[in-house]
Structure 1
Amino acid sequence: MDGVKVDFIAVGGSRNPAAADWDTNGSGLLAFGAGNNIAIWNPSDLNYKGITDLLAGHTDVVNVVKFLPTTGSSKIRILSGSADKTIRLWESSFDAPLQFQELETISAHVSSINCIAIVPGFHGFASGSADGTIKIWRFTEENASVGEVDLVQTIELRPKYIPLALSLAVLHDSSILLAAAGTKSTIQVYVSSSDQFTQVASLSGHEGWIRSLAFVSETDDERGDLILASASQDKYIRLWRIHEGEELPAISSAASDPALGLLGRSLSNKAHRFQTASSKYSITFEALLLGHEDWIYTAAWRKWHGKLQLLSASADNSLAVWESDPQSGVWVCIARLGEVSAQKGATTATGSTGGFWIGLWSPSGDSVASLGRTGSWRLWKREDSSDMWSQQVAVTGHTKEVKSLTWSKNGDYLLTTSSDQTTRLFAEWKRDDGSRSWHEFSRPQIHGYDLNCIDTISDTQFISGADEKLLRVFDEPSAVAKLLARLCKIQRSAEISLPDAANIPVLGLSNKAIQAIEEHEVLEDNKRDEREAPDPASVVHKSTLDLDHPPLEDHLARHMLWPEREKLYGHGYEISAVAASHDGSIIATACRASSIDHAVIRLYETKDWRELKPPLKSHSLTVHNLRFSPDDEYLLSVGRDRQWTIFQRDKDDQSTYRQAAMEPKGHSRMILDCTWAPLMTDAKVFATAGRDKKINLWRLGQNNATNYHTITSSSAVTAIDFLPDEVDGCIVLAYATEEGALAICAFSSSTPFLKEDAFEKAISPSSTVSRLNWRPRRHGEDGANSHLAVASDDGSVRLYDVPIKNWLKPSIEALGDW
């Protein structure tokens, strides 16, 4: 379909230390694994467009992403490795940096790809896999323009260990040095000879798995020493010096200095010697970097004003910048970024919620980016004038399947919910200069169960259902309301009284309302036992909530929760569907079921949050979705039993619904979704979609409904939604499939089918679409373009700008001529 644009993509990063890279060849792009896809982001973009593309091709989680050196070339190339056992080569050009094409798929490994190493000067790369091998590859063509690569060597490591980290370096005589490590505490060093690598050293000293290796040249002199940094799960970083010549470097004797006492004697200073065709070298232990309190996942070098600096990322929720003291030569931490110890909470030993998995230098060296355990990125920029690091706006997103989404009643913001056990609020940041961009502005619910469904009750209230058999209702706090008003120009009614903020008590699942106080205030709590330590999360200062930019990950995880209003009980199994009436007075819910007793639809009124009994019985298996008609007169349900049912509201008792129509064989296989068309004068129209690859359109009569049109798809139809308003007398339906394909159809009053068009595959999700939702038309909009929000099992939330009027215009004109 022509003219469709992707306005926004939200997706979280893969939690693998090698799953991201920042291009140093001039494009400024940062690529990272996001589930089965590769996300492309430009962190230095002043317009904050965020993720601009998702490269689809891998069939399992992407573990490794590396930009290939392309000095002097007009191409941008990426190597990616995945749990699907393949390595893929992608290419784009500087003229069109967001149009990557897959050049080649390499399938020589027989297990998950864990690491890839590249280096300028080596016309190839090394790959390490869970199959216990390292494979050495060389490009067939000098410029690798056709993407062909040849396997030149396989190094067997099993049963010794599985490689998790690789690094390559070029020696001055053009020999290549390879360091490899992984599920063992030693580092294997190989050197190339006649295009084959031979092991020359085994470096011991670490006491845990080694997660990252990085070579760097100490000076710009081509005959200068190399330094190898190794980061381990033993919480330490070790530095190793590779020196040319028979004599050992003077600094290597530092470890035997008696001033170091017992620590010095425990550090091995053994020299490992090897030689290439023309030179002799030694490898000696250089330094031990202490300071992290948990596993260290990545280590990355940069040269800054003639100095070497090392960036490390750890599960202790911190990044550290290390530098050698010019006087003593001792390596010290000169900057620490992230979270202070008192706030970080649990770590790896208890299944932590925090931790930094990746740390990257920017190409210019004045910024660092880090991926946290929540799948969100943090970005820091160094200010030369103050020598301080300030955190910048970065990208966030879900890390698992996005199960449902819904717009607020007036379309101001989008709520999404996922199997990653979070609910997220996305809205448009509107700046004074007229520029706009979408961001996550709140994380209303951080839960202990997978979240399955969500709907908005009003502009300040929503309800969600999870695997815990009950539903929870949340109210918008004033902190979020003020932030949305200030940055997104979303105004709220002055009459609504909102709580300040919310937090989750220790060992709790319910968000509790808390009070925001001034910096100098102390929250009175006369009832608290003095022997109990105060919960720092129970208090938030107003200044913390007063932001002039979208919330950073620290704010989202701690201060942007919504307090819980109510719990709704009654179901015996996991919640599968929820719907709120358009007037916000009735909630309809259903749960997973294998019998008619549990496949009931329960109704709740929102005034006193009472269940309206008896529950509605019709289905015999799980109800997949529920939808109220635009006027709330009817409630439509579809389910696993292939049946749809319509319940009609009692004219005298507005809280009572009774069965009005039913079709026990609405589809030949289970029905997955349903939707109502905008109200029309002649009849009410609704649609159902099923695993039988069909969408059936139904016209509701007095006591039944007739199927007046069927749309056939190439795969199971998993999500459908009608545009809430007519466009030039036509109704528009969007649908999506199990394979991620998206399409829209149009119907007019004079013909049951007018037009159908599919979205380009390049901008469509790579996996099953779980929910579609058109954005309600807001005041002042002409309806020329419409926004379609899409939730997918590939972990992404996508927002499309669809030119509905231009798309319909030729067909409507042709219909008029006819």
Structure 2
Amino acid sequence: MDHISADFLSTGGNRHPSAADWDREGSQLLAFGADHNIALWNPEDENLRGVTRLLSGHEKQVTVVKFFPTGSSERTVLISGSADKTIRIWLRTKKPNLDFELMKTVSDHQSALTRVAVCPGSDIFVSGASDGTIKVWKLIQRADDRTIDVEPLQSITLTPKYFPLSLALAKLDGSSLILAAAGTRSAIQMFVSRESQFDLAATLTGHEGWIRSLEFTRESEEDGSDLLLASASQDKYIRLWRVHQGDELPAVSNAASDPSLGIIGKSLSNKAHRIESKDSLYSVTFEALLLGHEDWIYTALWRFQRGKLQLLTTSEDNSLAIWESDSASGVWVCITRLGEISSQKGSTTATGSAGGFWIGLWSPDGNLVASLGRTGSWRMWHYTESEDRWLQRVAVSGHVEAVKGICWAKDGSYLLSTSSDQTTRLFAIWKRGSKRSWHEFSRPQIHGYDLNCIDSISATQFISGADEKLLRVFDEPRGVANLLNHLCDIGSDTNQTLPDAANIPVLGLSNKAIQAVEDDEPAAEEDDEREAVDPASIVRKSTLDLDHPPFEDHLARHLLWPESEKLYGHGYEISAVASSHDGSVIATACRASSLEHAVIRLHDTKEWLEIKPPLAAHSLTVTALEFSEDGQYLLSVGRDRQWAVFARTEGSATEYNLEHSNPKGHSRMILDGSWAPNTSCRMFATAGRDKMVKIWRFSGAEVELWTSISGTAAVTAVAFLHTTLSGHLVLAYGDESGTVAICVISVEDPANIKVSIVGKEFVPAKQVNQLAWRPAYQGVGQEERQELAIASEDSSVRILRVRIATEP
């Protein structure tokens, strides 16, 4: 194996308001928590490569991501916190490489981390956790070597006890720092430092709900200007507070007398809180109340833009707001609202409300805004000065739960993935000129059950199985076919009778075929209340006419595939599905603990009728199914440690009978199986919890063990490359620790096996659930350069480009 590169990484962001940050200094990267990993993305990359790296190390979900201001373009320090109770410090230097390296792990907190706050120009940072404490740290970094250390300075136990969901840190003057802390109560605690020890100085009241975000800024870019603190709460309001130096109070804010506040204005208190640093006296007063959001507010972030101070807020009401102080009256007003208009929210169906925005971030230059929502996908807006408006841009998306299954289209043109987050996603390459980049182009299935398995039947049809007792078949709609044809150069022999798109009835799970309507045409009303359609999911023709990969609002609402068939018969959750290579037969299995349910059911794809009787061989759950390339054989493996091979009945295209089985194929359960490409004799591989990959060969009327490969952990996925290379078989396997290995095996000499372990920077942090080599497509896979897709428990889909060397 000469070379490996990551062609594509897809993963969704964690739904924690503190789990993302955009570096304003050297790297200019946006980092966000993605399950146990930290994803690195450059939103301003002209090539739109998306996520370029996943940093693994945490053992539970990442809840905090924060860049530490180093003041240097040569060094980038990243602080992450997790539900595993640890803080990890990562360093990236321009020499010797540009990769992040884990430098320090701190385990002082007794519970999950909730927030980290840093202060530009200071080496102090603070961390909060759901153990009800805030810890103060000093970051010790030496520019001359690659070492970083962390020194604990103080531990603050919050009284009365609450979880610090938000922290903010700022310089008060030359000798003191000010710390604001709030969370699962409605008050804000202000701490002031003296000789590196923080003491409680004031408690600010006024909010009526949990406080989700705090952020300090200077009122102007001049030295010595007042500090402003923004606090965002679940009570739907943002409050601004002024920290003013001196004995005299600042000019009275007109916030309380604003007539637009009505009765709220009477309850606004302008009580001055006195605080004291080592050198000076200060007052903290209420400055303004910002109202306009209709639901919980998660983040508030300041920036200076062209000399003006602006505040970005994100809310559960599906909107981002940009606030500015009116130059004439001083009243804070919302000057821009991005996201979704309330009337467009739709109902609470799968394709209705986007579920709110949990994170909002300014880019370093302030001309981009990125936001993460409930679906785990990012949205991005760019400010164009010539038009004086914000325009949406292509961002990144991905699954937010374990990816259980992947499959390539039969012709290798696109990749389908399915997940416990109850969605199926389609990824393809956007081609424009010489540029190439992978993107999500369709979300064919948004379901009410966790999805477990998937396989493509043809280039325009797939089948999926979920935690329900039936399987569903989906056909590509004309809108998606045209989009893939136009942007990805994927040929489409689209049947003109196909529907334009699909939507989900409000009370149903089945995607219903619909025709797109003209922009000025009213949406048709449904007569049957049970088939009532979410009005937000009506598709206009202009919506499907895109010149870029679809944005999240298109994916979540307008790019479903209509469901054409349901396959019944199983009694429990579907565990495995396979389609023959010509798409004529479907094999399915379900979770089982008895002979009765551990059967394999076959369906033909012409009439969609079950081929009876079902195939019996196993006594426990069948974990994987695969047809041989010519459709002659069906391989099944199961938790009963057995593999079985069913042969197609002579003269029949759809009937199979048990021909070979081995009740003791492995010493523990078998988790996957794969057919080798046709050589002089037929072979297949099985992978087991006994840490073994075994390759079996047909020998006359028997099947014998040809060779075996030992792993270091339970092997959970195995896949043969679809062709031989210079007389060698190529096999990839993945295990429960996330390791992926590529094995090159001589057909003539089975003892001659070269095993290459893929580098840790390319593989998942958790169990590999499925592997799939890309079928030869437009030159890819015709030579030693191959593409391997990986589905993992860590919510990631990865496509690796592998150059395989068959010679020693």
C-alpha displacement of 1:252: 3.1
Q: Which residue of 1 aligns with 2:89?
A: 89
Q: How does 1:670-709 map to 2 (within 5 A)?
A: 670-681=669-680, 683-709=681-707
Cα separation, 2, equivalents of 1:30 and 1:710: 44
TM-score (normalizing by structure 1):
0.96
Q: Which residue of 1 aligns with 2:156?
A: 155
C-alpha displacement of 1:219: 1.2
Asked if structure 1 preserves the Cα contact closer than 8 Å seen for 2:256 and 2:265, the reply is yes
Q: Percent identity?
A: 61
Amino acid at match of 2:336: A
TM-score (normalizing by structure 2):
0.97
Cα separation, 2, equivalents of 1:233 and 1:346: 22
Cα separation, 1, equivalents of 2:117 and 2:622: 50
1:396/1:519 CA distance change after superposition, 3 Å: same
Asked if structure 2 preserves the Cα contact closer than 8 Å seen for 1:294 and 1:347, the reply is no
- 1:588-612 CA deviation, whole Å, 9 max, x = no partner? 0000000000000000111111011
Amino acid at match of 2:664: K
Unaligned residue ranges in structure 2 (runs of 5+): none
Amino acid at match of 2:89: L
1:738/1:725 CA distance change after superposition, 3 Å: same
Q: How does 1:212-251 map to 2 (within 5 A)?
A: 212-251=213-252
* Alignment of 1:572 onto 2:582: no
Q: Which residue of 2 aligns with 1:172?
A: 173
* Alignment of 1:802 onto 2:802: yes
Q: Which residue of 2 aligns with 1:518?
A: 518
Aligned partner of residue 596 in structure 2, secondary structure: coil
C-alpha displacement of 1:74: 1.1
Amino acid at match of 2:697: R
Asked if structure 2 preserves the Cα contact closer than 8 Å seen for 1:122 and 1:176, the reply is no
C-alpha displacement of 1:771: 0.1
CA RMSD in angstroms, aligned pairs only = 1.9
Cα separation, 2, equivalents of 1:500 and 1:719: 37
* Alignment of 1:419 onto 2:415: no
Amino acid at match of 1:726: T
Aligned partner of residue 486 in structure 1, secondary structure: helix
Q: Which residue of 2 aligns with 1:723?
A: 721
Q: How does 1:120-269 map to 2 (within 5 A)?
A: 120-141=120-141, 145-157=146-158, 159-252=160-253, 254-255=255-256, 262-269=263-270
* Alignment of 1:606 onto 2:605: yes
Unaligned residue ranges in structure 1 (runs of 5+): 812-818
Q: More displaced, 740-749 or 632-641?
A: 740-749
Amino acid at match of 1:567: K
C-alpha displacement of 1:485: 0.4
1:81/1:90 CA distance change after superposition, 3 Å: same
Q: How does 1:429-468 map to 2 (within 5 A)?
A: 429-431=430-432, 433-468=433-468
Cα separation, 1, equivalents of 2:31 and 2:270: 39
Q: More displaced, 250-259 or 596-605?
A: 250-259
C-alpha displacement of 1:621: 0.2
Aligned partner of residue 202 in structure 1, secondary structure: strand
1:286/1:716 CA distance change after superposition, 3 Å: same
Asked if structure 1 preserves the Cα contact closer than 8 Å seen for 2:25 and 2:73, the reply is no
Asked if structure 1 preserves the Cα contact closer than 8 Å seen for 2:505 and 2:533, the reply is no
Among 748, 751, 754, which residue is 2:749 paired with? 751
Cα separation, 1, equivalents of 2:571 and 2:727: 45
1:647/1:496 CA distance change after superposition, 3 Å: farther
C-alpha displacement of 1:145: 4.8
Q: Which residue of 2 aligns with 1:582?
A: 581
C-alpha displacement of 1:382: 0.4
* Alignment of 1:634 onto 2:633: yes
Asked if structure 1 preserves the Cα contact closer than 8 Å seen for 2:71 and 2:121, the reply is no
* Alignment of 1:119 onto 2:109: no
Asked if structure 2 preserves the Cα contact closer than 8 Å seen for 1:483 and 1:547, the reply is yes
- 1:226-282 CA deviation, whole Å, 9 max, x = no partner? 000000011110000000111111133642578965322200111000111211100
Cα separation, 2, equivalents of 1:454 and 1:346: 28
1:761/1:241 CA distance change after superposition, 3 Å: same
C-alpha displacement of 1:778: 2.1
C-alpha displacement of 1:727: 1.1
Cα separation, 2, equivalents of 1:758 and 1:638: 25
1:555/1:495 CA distance change after superposition, 3 Å: closer
Q: How does 1:52-67 map to 2 (within 5 A)?
A: 52-67=52-67
C-alpha displacement of 1:508: 1.2
Asked if structure 2 preserves the Cα contact closer than 8 Å seen for 1:82 and 1:113, the reply is yes
- 1:760-795 CA deviation, whole Å, 9 max, x = no partner? 112211110000000001254532200000000011
1:419/1:534 CA distance change after superposition, 3 Å: closer
- 1:308-364 CA deviation, whole Å, 9 max, x = no partner? 10000101111000001111111110000001112224679x997511000000000
Cα separation, 2, equivalents of 1:309 and 1:524: 43
1:533/1:323 CA distance change after superposition, 3 Å: farther
Asked if structure 2 preserves the Cα contact closer than 8 Å seen for 1:316 and 1:347, the reply is no
Cα separation, 2, equivalents of 1:142 and 1:193: 25
Asked if structure 2 preserves the Cα contact closer than 8 Å seen for 1:132 and 1:159, the reply is no
Q: Which residue of 1 aligns with 2:503?
A: 503
Asked if structure 2 preserves the Cα contact closer than 8 Å seen for 1:47 and 1:436, the reply is yes
Q: Which residue of 2 aligns with 1:594?
A: 593
Amino acid at match of 1:544: T
Q: Which residue of 1 aligns with 2:365?
A: 364
1:557/1:531 CA distance change after superposition, 3 Å: closer
Asked if structure 1 preserves the Cα contact closer than 8 Å seen for 2:191 and 2:199, the reply is yes
Q: Which residue of 2 aligns with 1:660?
A: 659
Aligned partner of residue 479 in structure 1, secondary structure: helix
C-alpha displacement of 1:222: 1.9
Aligned partner of residue 4 in structure 1, secondary structure: strand
Aligned partner of residue 392 in structure 2, secondary structure: strand
Q: Which residue of 2 aligns with 1:773?
A: 772
- 1:423-471 CA deviation, whole Å, 9 max, x = no partner? 000000111x211000000000000000000000000000000001110
Q: More displaced, 509-518 or 785-794?
A: 509-518
Cα separation, 2, equivalents of 1:537 and 1:196: 54
Asked if structure 1 preserves the Cα contact closer than 8 Å seen for 2:419 and 2:451, the reply is yes
C-alpha displacement of 1:69: 0.5
